Each structure stands twice: as structure tokens, then as C-alpha cells.
Structure 1
């Protein structure tokens, strides 16, 4: 069973730390999207895809699934690249590793509720977002 050795020292993450990690993760996501787009370029013969075409819709789905996989895979291992930099961990309420399915569901809920889902951070003492409340997860901070 996964339980970090430092679980007893974890505290609730602040909005500032989460936003800082989000900025870092956005940079990682841009890099992933850039490389993924380069892989598709030969199939479009270097031309931009027509937004009404099936190819464009498949391209958007491809990028969405790639982002879902990146975040779900990272969260199921405890941290994204941005979270590592800010010493944040995603765990269940029991301080256990989050499953890939739960992490994928968290990504989808966060995508559907981009701003509303995170407003609860402001008034909740445990700093849980709506995706955290629905899925029984926490983003915790490990002080130095």
C-alpha cells in the first residue's frame, strides 16, 4: 500500500501554491501539445486543418486524450511536474495513491467546471475543490 513516509507532515495546499503549480503544468502541457502537433504535421502536409473537417475534430480529440493521459498518469503517481516543484501531492482522503480512473475523472470534472470547481478553495478550511469533494481526494503540501 502506498503511503508516503512524510504523510504526517502534509498540510492543506493554499490557492497560491496550486496556481503556481498550474502555471508550471501549463508550460509542460504546451510542450506536450507542441510535440504532439509536430507528430501530426506530416499527415496534414504542413497545412492548417480546416476547423469544419473531421480531421480537425480528431486532432482536438487526440490532444484532449493526450492531456487526460498526462494528468491522470501524473496524478495517479502523486504529482505532476508543477506539483513537484511546489511540493504538492494528490492523495485520497485516506492519504493513499489515487487510482488512474479517479485521476482521469478528476481531470474531466476539472475540465467541465474550470472556475466554479475551484472557488471552494477560498472558503473551505480543508482547501478542497469540487472535484476533490466529489472524488474524495486532497492536494496536500509538504513543508521543508
Structure 2
């Protein structure tokens, strides 16, 4: 399968930590909203359909819905789908678009679904280690985080005006 080249093409500098964290914050807000919508549809849609309103209220008051593995799985899958779609399509989440950043391979092509999965899983691990995987870019000579290294991709800063297409 031929690689999907991203536009604009060029040799762009690696993105700095301040822009990356600003984009992460934007995307965090979007992810909170996404998880809220998934939870609403799951609990008020699917569970209400299965159990009915009265039984769902009983389960909720008894705390039976507090640690629902199905809801956690749906939320995680939805978050991965969000990032994978943006990263593999145009290399940018909405937060990255706002800050002029893009994820790409060294040759300027979009990352694959496998690379997106690696980035997603390793980024979760980075947060679980108190953000060390993200802060790694401060010590890495190429400015890479753990998920950049493991997915063999990089986050670049696009020139001004080129990301508003």
C-alpha cells in the first residue's frame, strides 16, 4: 500500500515542548468531552435499553455502575479512534492544528494505524510514569518523546500559515 504523503511537504523542525503541551491541553479538553458523550450514550442509551429506567436507577444507587469495565473499554477505544483517525489522516489532532504541529514519518508521510496504536499505548505509559515519557524530549538530542521513539515518528512544527488549509 503506498504511503499517504502529508501536505505541505518539507523539512520541518521538531516541535518544542511548550507547543506540544499546549496542543495536549487542547486535545485533553476534547477527550474529556468525548468520554462524557460515550458515557452518556452507554449509560443512558444502552444500559437503559437493557435494564430499563427503574433497574438502572437501582444499580446506580447501589454503586454497581461505578467500576464498569465495559464503559472503561468503550472510552479507551473511543479515545484511540479519535487519535488514530486524526494522526493517520492528516497527521494533526484539533489541538495540533491550532498550534501548527503535525505527526509524521521521517519521509513526510502519514503514520500507519500500527504506529498510531504504538503512540497511543506508549503515551498512556508516559503519563503513568508521571509524564517522564513526555519530558524525555528535553534530554533526547532529537527532541523525541517515548512515543515518538517507539512509533518511529516525529512531531514537527509547520511554518506559519501552512496549517490553516
> TM-score per shorter chain, which class?
0.7 to 0.9
Q: Is the 8 A contact 2:27 2:93 kept in 1?
A: yes
Q: Which runs of 5+ in 2 are unaligned?
A: 49-55, 161-165
Say if 1:3 and 1:95, in contact at 8 Å, map to a contact too.
Answer: yes
What is the deviation of 1:51? 5.8
Answering whether residue 113 of structure 2 is matched by residue 97 of structure 1, we say: no
Aligned to 1:50: 64
Give the count of matched residue pairs.
Answer: 142
Do 2:84 and 2:113's aligned partners in 1 also have CA atoms closer than 8 Å? yes
For normalisation by structure 1, the TM-score amounts to: 0.88
Report the CA distance shift for 1:52/1:8 in structure 2 as closer, same or farther (over 3 A): closer
Q: Is 66-75 or 44-53 further displaced after alignment?
A: 44-53
List aligned pairs for 1:29-44, cutoff 5 A.
29-42=31-44, 43=47
Q: 1:126 to 1:37 in 2, by over 3 A?
A: same
Report if aligned partners of 2:115, 2:152 keep a CA contact under 8 Å in 1: no
- Give the match for residue 138 of structure 1: 154
Higher mean displacement: 71-80 or 116-125? 116-125
**What's the C-alpha RMSD, in Å, of the aligned pairs?**
1.9
Please give the residue correspondences for 1:55-70 in structure 2 after superposition, counting only pairs within 5 Å: 56-70=68-82
Question: Unaligned stretches of 5+ in structure 1?
Answer: none
TM-score of the aligned structures, taking structure 2 as reference length: 0.77
Report how far residue 109 of structure 1 moved.
1.0
Alignment of 1:10-25 (within 5 A): 10-25=12-27
Residue 100 of structure 1 and its aligned partner are, at CA, apart by: 1.4
